[in-house]
């Protein structure tokens, strides 16, 4: 059975052939940590977590290296820290912790390695100096810029014309540029901004451009060439195009990654998500507030809702889709509750479906059929396959509502705090229980109207 992946570079589904099957290597662009991650950021996190799980299933847990970076030096970070009157370190540490908590709730596995840009400044400077030495970059007015003309097939990844690239890159007009498309590898730091000793003999302190960060981090942890580079489709140009150019020119290679994968755009209730539209939603809001649809949504519901659409297709994120995902999960769990002694048994057919470029819609259809078979003549065999399918998708289908006496006491204490409107203590207990794998759901008793709390224990 072959693993087929759509390659943005070739514009077709290709059979995946790792450079080294004993060490399959994948790099995915992670967050810039200055604010809560929005729901659009959740999509690549979930998509490439699923690919990570599939690769581990096919090649073995210890034979896959997944690198997802954290960008902790950026103009947006500087501006937000100044606005809040906090240090850049405090802001990035807090926001990275928020991101990790959100992804844990979405049941995304931690990457094998999670490098930070500020920990790789030396590698960035070395790569920049190499590019200058081989004529692919130049120094101008305390900046270092990549000379796009030195890359003969620049633009191949995105497939854009020169005019489209100029428009798409929102090219900065600067007198020191040799060409309008040349982009910054290093720039001088302004007063109050983070700064490091500059490369190439530049006298003033500076900081890296965005694109060079990922080139340096991927080389450090995966090598000059590796198997898969992933991210959202919005990163194809200019970020990934520029990464590819820098890395190839610095290393003298014909490729950076064998396969380039990009997930599609996300809109909310039929409209582009934006703050001006009033539909900008963070993962944290969906999990912790009643902002969307008048209620909170469990992480497993959010995850399944994302996977119901093929990763390359645009997704319309809606309350209806979340309700559909929730009903689907409830149905599968009811079916599996009749087979408590069954252990997961992976179906080759399910792996085959996912191996066709992560065909999650067809995989979910197969799981519905499997649930129907479990209720019919297939019984335990189908239930075992359904349970294993959920595990590979990263969705727990076997849940138990049995909790310890100590946990029950905490639930009661939280209800008391809610009655007293002590929201801080109520939230503290909720977060503590979540750390134990206990997901709380607040509601009202339909008979009495009193506030009640139920829970699910995720396994």
> Tell me: the pLDDT tens digits for 93-121?
999 999 999 999 999 999 999 999 999 99
Average pLDDT over residues 165-183: 79
What pLDDT does residue 398 have? 82
Residue 457 pLDDT greater than 90, yes or no:
no
Query: For 267-288, what is each residue's pLDDT tens digit?
Result: 999 999 988 888 899 999 999 9
- pLDDT-derived band at 170 (thresholds 50, 70, 90) equals low
**Mean pLDDT computed over 343-356:** 97
Write the DSSP symbol of residue 257. Answer: E
- Considering the chain, what percentage of its residues have pLDDT values greater than 90? 82
pLDDT at 194 over 70: yes
Residue that the structure tokens 């290093």 belong to:
186
pLDDT category of residue 161 using cuts at 50, 70 and 90: confident
What pLDDT score was predicted for residue 451?
A: 77
Residue 251: pLDDT band (50, 70, 90) is very high
Query: What pLDDT is attached to residue 232?
Result: 97
Phi, psi of 84 (to 5 degrees): -85, -10
- In 110-182 the beta strands, taken as DSSP E runs, fall at 137-140, 143-146
Rounded to 10°, the helix 241-251/210-222 angle is 50
Percent of the chain with pLDDT over 70: 96
Q: What is the reported pLDDT for 162?
A: 66
Grade residue 55 by pLDDT with cuts at 50, 70 and 90: very high
Model pLDDT, residue 376: 77
Please give the pLDDT value at position 269: 92
| pLDDT for 137 beyond 90 | yes
Distance CA 261, CA 249 (A): 21
What does pLDDT average to over the chain? 93
d(CA 180, CA 183): 8
φ, ψ of residue 201 in degrees (nearest 5): 75, 10
pLDDT of amino acid 445: 66
Give the model's pLDDT for residue 260: 98
Mean predicted confidence (pLDDT) in 189-218: 96
Contact 233, 244 (CB under 8 A): no
DSSP character at residue 393? H
**Mean pLDDT across 67-84:** 95
Helix (H) or strand (E) holding 284: helix 283-288
The mean per-residue pLDDT over the stretch 424-446 comes to 83
Residue 172: which pLDDT band, with cuts at 50, 70 and 90?
Answer: low
The pLDDT of residue 407: 86
């Amino acid at each position: 059975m072959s693993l087929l992946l759509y390659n943005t570079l070739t514009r077709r589904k290709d059979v995946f052939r790792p450079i080294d099957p004993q060490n399959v290597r994948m790099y995915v662009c992670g967050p810039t940590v200055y604010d809560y991650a929005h729901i659009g950021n959740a999509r690549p996190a979930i998509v490439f977590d699923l690919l990570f799980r599939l690769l581990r299933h096919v090649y073995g847990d210890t034979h896959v290296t997944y690198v997802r970076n954290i960008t902790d030096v950026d103009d947006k970070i500087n501006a937000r820290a100044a606005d809040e009157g906090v240090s850049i370190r405090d802001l990035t540490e807090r926001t990275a912790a928020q991101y990790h908590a959100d992804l844990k709730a979405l049941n995304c596995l931690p990457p094998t390695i999670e490098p930070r840009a500020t920990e790789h400044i030396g590698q960035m400077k070395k790569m920049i100096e190499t590019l200058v030495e081989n004529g692919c970059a130049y120094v101008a007015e305390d900046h270092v810029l990549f000379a796009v003309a030195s890359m003969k097939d620049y633009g191949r990844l995105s497939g854009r014309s020169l005019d489209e690239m100029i428009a798409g890159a929102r090219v900065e007009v600067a007198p020191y540029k040799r060409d309008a498309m040349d982009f910054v590898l290093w720039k001088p730091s302004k007063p109050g901004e983070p700064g490091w000793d500059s490369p190439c003999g530049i006298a003033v302190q500076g900081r890296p451009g965005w694109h060079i960060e990922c080139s340096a981090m991927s080389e450090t942890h995966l090598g000059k060439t590796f198997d898969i580079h992933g991210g959202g489709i919005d990163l194809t140009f200019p970020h990934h195009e520029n990464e590819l150019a820098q890395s190839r020119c610095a290393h003298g290679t014909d490729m950076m990654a064998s396969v380039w994968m990009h997930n599609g755009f996300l809109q909310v209730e039929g409209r582009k998500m934006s703050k001006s539209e009033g539909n900008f939603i963070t993962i944290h809001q969906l999990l912790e507030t009643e902002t969307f649809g008048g209620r909170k949504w469990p992480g497993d519901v959010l995850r399944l809702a994302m996977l119901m659409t093929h990763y390359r297709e645009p997704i319309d994120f809606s309350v209806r889709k979340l309700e559909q995902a929730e009903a689907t999960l409830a149905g599968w769990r009811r079916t599996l509750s009749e087979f408590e002694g069954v252990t997961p048994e992976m179906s080759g057919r399910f792996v085959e479906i996912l191996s066709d470029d992560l065909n999650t819609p067809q995989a979910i259809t197969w799981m519905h059929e499997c649930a129907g078979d479990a209720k019919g003549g297939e019984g335990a065999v189908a239930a075992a396959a359904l349970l294993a399918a959920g595990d590979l998708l990263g969705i727990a289908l076997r849940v138990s509502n049995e909790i310890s006496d100590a946990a029950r006491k905490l639930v009661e204490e939280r209800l008391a705090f809610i009655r007293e409107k002590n929201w801080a203590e109520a939230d503290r207990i909720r977060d503590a229980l979540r750390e134990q794998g206990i997901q709380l759901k607040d509601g009202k008793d339909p008979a009495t109207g009193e506030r009640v709390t139920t829970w699910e224990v995720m396994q």
